[in-house]
Copies of this chain bind each other. A is one copy, B any other.
Amino acid sequence: MPELRRGLITQKWVIIAPERAMRPSDYRTDGDEALRQPLENCPFCPGHEHMTPPEVYRVSDGKNGWRVRVVPNKYAALTSYPELGRAGVAGFFDRMNGVGAHEVVIETPDHDKELPDLTEDHLKVVVDVYALRLRELMKNGWHRYVLLFKNHGSRAGASLAHPHAQIIATPVVPGDVRARLHVAKDYYDRKERCVFCDMLLQELHEGQRVVAEVDGYVILAPYDSRFPFEIHIYPRYHAHDFTAMNEEQRRGLARVLRQALGALKALLGDPPYNFVLQTAPNPVPRPGKPGYWATLQYDYHWHIEVIPRLTRVAGFEWGTGFYINPMPPEDAARYLREALEQG
């Protein structure tokens, strides 16, 4: 019997249809032919630094090389520009200039290492760089929201195999993010508690959807998972702002990221996936405007969503915003716990 589920945060229904379920091994994918290319063409490999736009940040390896580099995206979706040019078009439509920023974080010089293959120390440096670049981009008042995400594998939208994440700063807070902020604020206004903190307490108490608890973080297969093996990583402590993590919290995140992505890899081979950081919007007000977003951010609770791309989004999902997921999150969590125990 399929089941419809709705969580508190996205407020969207998901159909859990286990009749269509497969075993984890049926989802296994190894290798990604579409991204295979001669190493000499890879713009992110050491020695090819001239193939990227000029670097905006680097972490040195202590010798002549680097451990992590940050460069502007060569095909930027948004760019810096002196004015926003908000305007109505024909009374019906809104437009503005594509003001913002689009950066690439090259996470390792090693073309073939994925995040879970990196050492904990190296991953800690990667997390440091994520936070540092986000903070830097949030200094610009045009940047209302700064999104960190990663596309791994061609089916997840990556066009290059070399490990990298992307950061896009947008001149508006995206609608889906705004909707979540309002849910968190409404809940806080009623209960004086964070909706995410409450949900984590409940999930830890119940246990069946918890994959692991690591160093102050929780890996969870959410109740309303849209995709097979979707997992979320939450700080166990309340924190609205990813960029405000201290040293120890960043080290904890490196460790939990390694475990979460390592469990997916152990179970599913080398699955294509997206990860997306959900964090509070930039509180910096635009010149002359009150800091509206500042009032919304403290009730939020940052987290990372990891979405393996094992099924295809089709007409039904486009038409309704409803997802059909053949893998109950309770089963996904159990499989991932087993993978962690064996790893």
Contacts and interface: CB of A to CB of B under 8 A. Distances in A.
Interface of A: 1-8, 11-13, 15-17, 19-20, 75-79, 81, 89-98, 145, 147, 149-151, 154-158, 166, 168, 170-172, 174-177, 198-199, 202, 206, 223-224, 274-278, 305, 307, 312-316, 318-322, 324
Nearest to A165: B315
30 contacts: A1-B98, A2-B76, A3-B95, A4-B96, A5-B94, A6-B95, A8-B93, A11-B175, A12-B176, A13-B172, A16-B98, A90-B206, A92-B202, A147-B316, A149-B314, A149-B316, A149-B319, A151-B315, A154-B312, A155-B312, A156-B312, A157-B312, A157-B313, A174-B321, A175-B321, A176-B320, A176-B321, A177-B321, A276-B315, A305-B318
Contacts of A149: 314-316, 318-319
Nearest to A84: B4
A95 B199 contact: no
List the 6 closest pairs (A to B, CB-CB), nearest first: A157-B314, A2-B98, A149-B315, A176-B321, A174-B320, A276-B319
Contacts of A8: 92-93
Question: Looking at chain A's contact residues, is the secondary structure mostly helix, strand, loop, or mixed?
Answer: mixed
A12 B149 CA distance: 19
Contacts of A168: 316
Contacts of A320: 145, 147, 170, 174-177
Contact of A166 (B6, B312, B315): B315
A5 B222 CA distance: 32
Contacts of A171: 4
B77 A324 contact: yes
Contacts of A150: 315
Contacts of A12: 174-176
Contacts of A75: 17, 19-20
A277 B319 contact: yes
A174 to B, nearest CB: 4
A313 B312 CA distance: 10
A274 B77 contact: no
A260 to B, nearest CB: 16
B155 A316 contact: no
B89 A147 contact: no
A50 B19 CA distance: 21
Nearest to A10: B175
A174 B13 contact: yes
B3 A151 contact: no
A277 to B, nearest CB: 7
A103 to B, nearest CB: 13
